[in-house]
């Protein structure tokens, strides 16, 4: 992205051109002065001849030049022929000024609009100056105003809208931005705010103002966006409608380098391609597949706007997931349908299942329909369909949020059929599924967002469901449908249930995020007209925001590259101290008290100023410190820890107090204490037996380790440590490749084994040797098997041996370290 220079000159890329233009202007001014001097000394009859013939020199072009000036309240003279050189650049050498200047005409000045016949303004007597803070030609082609020059004063009156949620010049990464602001905190009033979008690329949208508070959704174009907000207060019939305006600049940078969240609608092979709706809705907006696509798309952009704002409130900037977009007929505004406007918007994939409508509706979750025989199979059906449709390759992961179109409210049985609310997935596809039973209440366009979240129409259970008895009205049904599907999408991104927020059904008040007043609620029986401030809104839990911060779908172009290695190692050392190491850095630790399923205590290690680069690679934990965080009432309860790394690694300690037990410590032959790392592999293969090797070079000065011989095939069979005197120590078996592969150490430079990079899952797939000189062997065994783990002792310790288990091949591996 090329930076913009908001000064009186042109951007740096045009400096040479600007300098040349300035020379041309100086030469023009010099010629004009010489012409004026000679005109003053010429004979009188020549002066009279020039005055009589001057009108004949005027052409349409010269008239246009004089009428394209700027009147921004700064009393600057209009810019006309002084920019003739730049005009020739942009217009092929003609005298017509750039088309960009046409937008500077003011409707309040007829002379500027060329509507005053032959009456034109007198020519300037000197070269006009550029208005302060205005760039004539921006590097990126960005006009300094939304159809008007830049204003020196952003707020034209005390009643001009003040935007509080985003600052001027901010960078955002989603197409639909949620903003919040106030009019005049000292004088509560109602009215409406109209958002005028950049260069009229999106129709103006109007949003209610309640007690001087307003919230709005703003459509952005890639690049710089100059937005104008007009506030119209209530007025008497005799008073003119005078808007109070403010301007803000927002830069929109789409995230095209991070994996997208795919949106899909699943339809049965014999589907009528309709969804449940009351007759009035069917008559006014329809209930076909086209309507479903518009409503699902709009709800997804609401997820995005909500999440981007929440991430910003948590101090992580306006990072958010993105959608796969395509060039298509626009539907984010209802006026796009009237004008047949094409836009780049989220793609909704239509996936046809190999099941019939009846087969889908017979598959329900137990909590929705007790007599169901096949519980939860809808998730498997959706997973199979998505894998077949997207066909992810090995190592590539797809993130898909789906909606079953053929969900149906069965009023006789009192249940929603063909619906499941689930999120999860495997290494190939991360999936969230939901039904369409609340789809009729969703907004289809931006203009319908506030009406949808304030519609008090009672739910007619003859036609549609009252989901969990929390959808008694249309706006509450929109909360449940949009919010619960976002909840399942949170599971897709790895979020568990939390003690508060979206992941604990906080979405029943999702409406407060997009409106300033809440209507009557059938769920709580609370009266309407409640003012909804940011503190009253639904939110993502802090732990959800931490997960999003390091998720691949939320990566920014400015984020440093994070290695694929995601392992976390725990080492119980002396005096009840535990060391935790992670190559990518430790982000946070969740603490679970015995009996708690939800995390209520956690420790963050991320430095907000330096980002992931500030995450420590080694930390020290003590039981005393952990007990102090969970409270005196939990001092005797068992503590479980979940440790998370910057590389999205996760490690669980089931009982922290047992971490440094007898099984984790042993005495070495020289009397020192050996400490065992956490073990990789499950050690559950048939015939698996424990095994360990204490390296003789660590306790015998006469032993020099010169090589490591690795036996492997499609998995790791064994390691043989070779000494200078020809003796060896074998860990595992001599299987796989005949003779194995040998990795030599440079003993002349005192090279030693620093650690191992291990590919492991259920068993040990492969291994790489790391040395003290920074060298790495190749990865022996299955290079793509399992997941990667870095086994390197913490600072102050070295490798004393290895331990694990062996069956047909190695199915367990860990280090024994010592000081």
Any idea which residues carry the catalytic annotation? 488
The residue whose two tokens read 């001027």 is 168
Cα torsion 78, 81, 87, 89 to 10°: value is -140
Nearest to 815 by CA among 674, 621, 672, 658: 674
Strand order in the sheet with 764-771: 780-781, 764-771, 753-760, 787-791
Query: According to the 3-state scheme, what is the secondary structure of 562-630?
Result: CCCCCCEEEEECHHHEEEEEECCCEEEEEEEECCCCCCCEEEECCECCCEHHHCCCEEEEEHHHHHHHH
Nearest to 248 by CA among 165, 313, 319: 165
Rounded to a whole number of angstroms, the CA Rg of the chain reads 35
Q: What are phi and psi of 60, to 5 degrees?
A: -60, -35
Q: Do the beta carbons of residue 207 and residue 216 sit within 8 Å?
A: yes
Query: According to the 3-state scheme, what is the secondary structure of 260-318?
Result: CEEEEEEECCCCCCECCCCHHHHHHCCCEHHHHHHHHHHHHHHHHHHHHHHHHHCCCCC
Strand order in the sheet with 689-694: 665-667, 673-676, 810-818, 798-806, 689-694
- What gap in Å lies between CA 218 and CA 333, rounded to an integer? 11
- What gap in Å lies between CA 771 and CA 752, rounded to an integer? 6
- What gap in Å lies between CA 85 and CA 503, rounded to an integer? 61
Residue 384 host element (H or E): helix 377-390
**Cβ atoms < 10 Å from Cβ of 329:** 13
Give SS3 for 742.
strand
Give SS3 for 196.
strand
């Amino acid at each position: 992205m090329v930076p913009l220079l908001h000064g009186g000159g042109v951007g740096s890329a045009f400096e040479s051109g600007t300098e040349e233009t300035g020379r041309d202007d100086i030469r023009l001014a010099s010629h004009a002065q010489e012409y004026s001097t000679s005109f003053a000394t010429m004979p009188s009859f020549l002066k009279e001849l020039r005055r009589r013939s001057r009108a004949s020199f005027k052409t349409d072009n010269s008239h246009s030049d004089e009428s394209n000036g700027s009147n921004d309240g700064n009393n600057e003279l209009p810019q006309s022929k002084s920019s003739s050189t730049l005009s020739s650049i942009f217009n092929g050498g003609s005298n017509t000024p750039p088309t960009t200047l046409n937008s500077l005409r003011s409707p309040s000045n007829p002379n500027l609009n060329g509507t005053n016949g032959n009456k034109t303004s007198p020519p300037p007597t000197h070269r006009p100056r550029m208005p302060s803070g205005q760039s004539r030609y921006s590097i990126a082609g960005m006009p300094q105003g939304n159809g008007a020059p830049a204003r020196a004063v952003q707020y034209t009156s005390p009643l001009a809208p003040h935007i509080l949620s985003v600052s001027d010049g901010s960078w955002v990464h989603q197409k639909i931005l949620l903003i919040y602001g106030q009019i005049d905190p000292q004088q509560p009033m109602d009215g409406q705010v109209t958002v005028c979008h950049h260069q009229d690329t999106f129709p103006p949208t109007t949003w209610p103002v309640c007690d001087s508070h307003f919230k709005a959704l703003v459509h952005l174009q890639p690049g710089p966006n100059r937005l104008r907000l007009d506030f119209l207060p209530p007025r008497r019939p005799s008073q003119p409608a005078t808007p109070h305006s403010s301007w803000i600049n927002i830069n929109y940078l789409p995230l095209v380098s991070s994996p997208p969240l795919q949106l899909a609608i699943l339809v049965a092979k014999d589907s009528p391609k309709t969804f449940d709706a009351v007759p009035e809705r069917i008559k006014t907006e329809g209930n076909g597949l086209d309507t479903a696509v518009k409503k699902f798309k709009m709800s997804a952009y609401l997820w995005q706007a909500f999440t981007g704002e929440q991430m910003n409130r948590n101090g992580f900037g306006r990072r958010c997931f993105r959608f796969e977009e395509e060039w298509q007929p626009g539907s984010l505004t209802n006026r796009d349908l009237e004008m047949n406007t094409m836009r780049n918007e989220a793609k909704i994939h239509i996936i046809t299942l190999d099941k019939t409508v009846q087969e889908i509706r017979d598959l329900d979750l137990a909590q929705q329909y007790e007599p169901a025989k096949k519980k939860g199979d809808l998730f498997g059906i959706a997973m199979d369909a998505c894998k077949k449709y997207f066909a992810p390759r090995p190592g590539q992961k797809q993130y898909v949020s789906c909606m079953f179109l053929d969900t149906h409210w069965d009023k006789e049985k009192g249940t929603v059929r063909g619906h499941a609310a689930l999120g999860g997935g495997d290494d190939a596809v991360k999936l969230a599924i939901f039904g369409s039973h609340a789809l009729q209440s969703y907004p289809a366009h931006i203009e319908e967002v506030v009406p949808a979240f304030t519609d008090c129409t009672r739910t007619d259970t003859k036609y549609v469901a009252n989901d969990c008895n929390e959808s008694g009205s249309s706006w509450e049904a929109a909360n449940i449908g949009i919010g619960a599907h976002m909840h399942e999408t949170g599971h897709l991104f790895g979020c568990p249930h939390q003690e508060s927020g979206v992941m604990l059904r906080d979405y029943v008040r999702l409406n407060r995020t997009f409106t300033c007043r809440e209507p009557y609620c059938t769920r709580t029986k609370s009266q309407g007209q409640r003012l909804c401030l940011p503190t009253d809104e639904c939110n993502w839990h802090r732990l959800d925001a931490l997960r999003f911060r390091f998720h691949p779908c939320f990566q920014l172009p400015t984020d440093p590259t994070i290695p694929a290695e995601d392992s976390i190692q725990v080492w119980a050392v002396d005096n009840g101290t535990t060391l935790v190491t992670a190559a990518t850095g430790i982000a946070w630790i969740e603490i679970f008290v015995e009996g708690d399923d939800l995390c209520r205590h956690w420790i963050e290690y991320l430095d907000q100023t330096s980002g992931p680069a500030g995450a420590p690679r080694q930390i020290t934990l003590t039981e005393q410190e952990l007990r102090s965080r969970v409270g005196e009432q939990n001092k005797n309860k068992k503590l479980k820890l979940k440790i998370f790394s910057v590389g999205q690694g996760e490690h669980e300690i089931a009982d922290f107090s047992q971490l440094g037990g007898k099984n984790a410590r042993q005495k070495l032959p020289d009397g020192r204490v050996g400490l065992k790392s956490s073990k990789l592999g499950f050690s559950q293969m048939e015939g698996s037996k424990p095994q360990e090797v204490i390296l003789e070079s660590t306790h015998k000065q006469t032993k020099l380790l010169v090589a490591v011989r690795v036996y492997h095939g499609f998995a790791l069979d064994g390691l043989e440590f070779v000494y200078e005197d020809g003796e060896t120590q074998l860990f595992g078996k001599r299987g796989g490749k005949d003779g194995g592969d040998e990795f030599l150490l440079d003993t002349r430079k005192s090279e030693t084994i620093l650690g191992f990079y291990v590919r492991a899952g259920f068993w040990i797939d492969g291994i790489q040797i790391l040395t003290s000189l920074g060298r790495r062997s190749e990865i022996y065994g299955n290079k793509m098997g399992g997941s990667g783990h870095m086994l390197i002792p913490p600072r102050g310790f070295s490798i004393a041996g290895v331990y694990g288990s062996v069956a047909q091949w190695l199915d367990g591996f860990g280090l024994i370290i010592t000081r």
